[in-house]
Chain A
Amino acid sequence: MTRLTLLLLFSLWSLDGAAVIETYEFSTPDLERRYQALSAELRCPKCQNQNIADSNAPISQDLRRLLHEQLEAGASDEEILEFMVARYGEFVRYRPEFSRATAILWLAPAVLLLLAVGVIVLLMRGRRKVAEAALTAEDEATLEKLLAQEPDRT
């Protein structure tokens, strides 16, 4: 019985606890919500394809601590983003400001979608033309003949 209890206890213990990076206390739930949102949007400058919420790089730890400090000090989201961009460039945001350098990032999906729709429309039109032109009286007769032969093959 003791063994079973122990086994059950151990099965409850998981390594997930060790994965938690660090926790911050927030004075209001609203600040915590903004912390989550901002740390998901800010990109880790070192690891490139992670946001600072997911990354355990030293620089991300620093940025998270800074984010917490600034939020508690009453900075607005815009002020915080501006602060980060002034140091790490637009790169640090997953949703960079629209500018000449980032225009291709913002516009490419729309342009590609338009292209795809265009190609599909062209293809559909081509196919309909083929379908309309396909069956002349002569074709019908040939088809009839071919269908009549069909039983031989079964």
Chain B
Amino acid sequence: MPTVQRLKLFLPLLLFVGLALFLYRGLSLDPKALPSALVDQPLPDFSLPALSDGRSLTRSDVTGEVSLFNVWATWCISCRVEHPYLQQLADLGVPIFGVNYKDENEAARQWLTDLGNPYRANIVDAAGSLGLDLGVYGAPETYFVDARGIIRYRHIGVIDERVWSSRLQPIYEELRAEAMP
């Protein structure tokens, strides 16, 4: 049997190895990590009441410095898991705004009284309209907004120590550095 002919016999093996590598890579990909359509877009305009006193908040009230917009609700179990870490971040001076997504005001206020309030302010999005404009499809989600009010990153799911120090903190620091004059 000529050498070329013989090498051809390895073709199925090569195909198999290629396919196996391809599928193996797929195992470690997260299908829920959708790229946000709003990255590099300005934070959408809104005019919604604040949770604390009901006064109207707009886009310009909550932009101007690098900050996190955390979408949360009292019906969201993961938000409860995430809450203590948000509190830690807030204590370190990270500005966090809350978007209280499709929730009841009374329950939300009670939550903040019981568990602590890491938020600079909370935007009441009872109908989910701001959530819709942000492309929110669940909670918790956290948007990183830069000093010019542009959304730069979206994190889906809980923020904890591990995610923050490995992935999110570098992004936050970079945005901060950008904002320095």
Residues of A within 8 A of B (CB): 45-46, 48, 58-59, 62, 66, 85-91
Contacts and interface: CB of A to CB of B under 8 A. Distances in A.
A46 B138 contact: yes
Contacts of B38: 87
B34 interface: yes
Nearest to A101: B35
Contacts of B132: 62, 66, 87
B128 A88 contact: no
Contacts of B102: 58
Contacts of B34: 45, 88-89, 91
B116 interface: no
A90 B138 CA distance: 18
A90 B135 CA distance: 12
Contacts of B135: 45, 87-89
9 nearest A-B pairs in the assembled complex, by CB-CB distance: A89-B37, A45-B137, A87-B135, A46-B137, A59-B137, A88-B135, A91-B34, A46-B138, A62-B128
12 contacts: A45-B137, A46-B137, A59-B138, A87-B37, A87-B38, A87-B135, A88-B34, A88-B37, A88-B137, A89-B35, A89-B37, A91-B35
Interface of A is mostly: helix
A66 B133 CA distance: 12
B100 to A, nearest CB: 15
Interface string B25-62: 00000011011111000000000000000000000000
A58 B76 CA distance: 13
B39 to A, nearest CB: 10
B134 interface: yes
Nearest to A62: B128
A87 B31 CA distance: 18
A48 B32 contact: yes
A128 B122 CA distance: 76
B134 A87 contact: yes
A91 B31 CA distance: 11
Contacts of A91: 34-35
Nearest to B75: A58
Contacts of B37: 85-90
Contacts of A46: 137-138
Given A58-B102, A88-B137, A48 B31 contact: yes
A153 to B, nearest CB: 33
B169 to A, nearest CB: 26
A85 B138 CA distance: 17
A40 to B, nearest CB: 19
Contacts of A59: 137-138
Nearest to A66: B132
Interface string B101-137: 0100000000000000000000000001000111101
A62 B131 CA distance: 11
Interface in B134-155: 134-135, 137-138
A130 to B, nearest CB: 14
A123 to B, nearest CB: 13
A42 B135 CA distance: 14
